[in-house]
Amino acid sequence: MIAIYPGSFDPITNGHLDLIERGAKLCDRLIVAVLRNQHKQPFFTAAERMEMLREVVGENPRIEVDSFDGLLVDYARRKQASIIIRGIRAISDYEYELQMALMNRRLCPSIETVFLMASEAYSFVSSKLVKEVFRLGGDVANMVPPSVEARLRERVPRGV
């Protein structure tokens, strides 16, 4: 059974990492798929985000890091995935994720979406919030892996 955990991962957070570890237990192979979206201006390129993911995931043969653009269900079909894993932090996430899951089901009924609740420790953490707190000089050490924090230090101006 192949599952896909898609996202922008800009940057990867400990919440993402928690969902990757938990999601990998639910399938034979988990593809962590970085969305390449030309309409957004990410801090890190898709290649950099994939590199960060590989650094923090390590050498787990059941986890693959990849990237995609276009429709998620088209990518899932190409990868022969039957499950899409999505994380839910709050009710506001659920409303958006439900809408996406129903659209994906309409487009490809054979692919199921599985929602994983965020662990309590990460229920408030988002990539956007991490970047904002970091930029303003706050401590994000408990929210991102150390290698990701080091990359943020290289990329993001602080105190702006």
Q: Which residues are catalytic?
A: 16, 40, 89, 127
Q: How far apart are CA 74 and CA 60, in angstroms?
A: 25
Q: Is the dihedral of CA 130, 89, 142, 47 positive or negative?
A: negative
46-73 as b/e: b if 16+ CB within 10 A: bebbbebbebbbeeeeebbbebbeeebb
How many C-beta atoms surround the C-beta of residue 149 within 10 A? 17
